[in-house]
């Protein structure tokens, strides 16, 4: 008869896991908010740039959802839970600049850029903080930063003079 083996849920030290989750959790919540608020903007955009902005917002929403999944899965892979329920996101993330109804494309682009800037600040804090904590988690944050900055550039290009 063989003995049952106990397998830990993660190969990472629990202190390292907790520190990594502390930096990645705000990123997940911000990206979840961007997913919802970006879709709101996508549905309500109006104006001469309608098609371009409408389609770009859909792409940005898809990226935000993918990035949130990457960061959340890293936390879970470290053996910790992540609470990204709608109520938690609403409680912990600053209000969006995206209006509730129809708006001109320039207004919505500026609102989504504002939301992106808040998330990028959290991602930069994660990149900096994770440097001394967990390089694999930092790599996840760096990839998210790269993607968000590219999406921001695409949005800025719609309103730049």
**pLDDT of residue 46 exceeding 60:** yes
Q: Are 73 and 86 in contact (CB under 8 A)?
A: no
Residue 9 has what DSSP assignment?
A: S
Tell the residue number behind the tokens 């600040």, with chain if given. 121
pLDDT at residue 1, rounded to an integer: 53
Report the pLDDT value the prediction gives residue 12, as an integer from 0 to 100: 72
Question: Residue 7: which pLDDT band, with cuts at 50, 70 and 90?
Answer: very low
pLDDT value of residue 8 = 57
Model confidence over 51-98: pLDDT tens digits?
A: 999 999 999 999 999 999 999 999 999 999 999 999 999 999 999 999
The mean pLDDT of 120-128, rounded to a whole number, is 98
Can you give the pLDDT at residue 48? 84
Tell me the pLDDT tens digit for each residue of 87-117: 999 999 999 999 999 999 999 999 999 999 9
Query: How confident is the model at residue 6, as a pLDDT?
Result: 47
Structural contact between residues 4 and 66, judged by C-beta atoms closer than 8 angstroms: no
pTM flag (> 0.85)? yes
Q: Name the average pLDDT for the chain.
A: 93
Give Cα 137 distance to the centre of its chain: 14
Reduced 3-state DSSP string for 90-138: HHHCCCCCCCCCCEEHHHHHHHHHHHHHHHHHHHHHHHHHHCCCCHHHH
- Alpha-carbon distance 157 to 9, whole Å? 45
Region label for 79, one of left (φ > 0), alpha (ψ between -120 and 50) or beta (otherwise): left
């Amino acid at each position: 008869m063989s003995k049952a083996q106990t397998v830990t849920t993660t190969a990472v030290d629990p202190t390292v896991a907790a520190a990594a989750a502390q930096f990645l959790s705000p990123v997940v919540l911000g990206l979840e908010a961007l997913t919802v608020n970006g879709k709101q903007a996508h549905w309500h955009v109006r104006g001469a740039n309608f098609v371009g902005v409408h389609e770009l917002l859909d792409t940005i929403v898809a990226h935000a959802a993918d990035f949130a999944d990457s960061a959340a899965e890293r936390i879970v892979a470290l053996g910790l839970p992540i609470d990204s329920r709608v109520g938690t996101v609403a409680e912990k993330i600053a209000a969006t600049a995206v209006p509730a109804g129809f708006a001109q494309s320039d207004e919505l682009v500026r609102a989504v850029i504002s939301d992106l800037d808040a998330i990028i600040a959290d991602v930069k804090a994660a990149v900096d903080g994770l440097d001394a904590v967990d390089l694999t988690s930092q790599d996840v944050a760096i990839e998210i930063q790269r993607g968000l900055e590219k999406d921001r550039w695409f949005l800025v290009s719609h309103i730049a003079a």
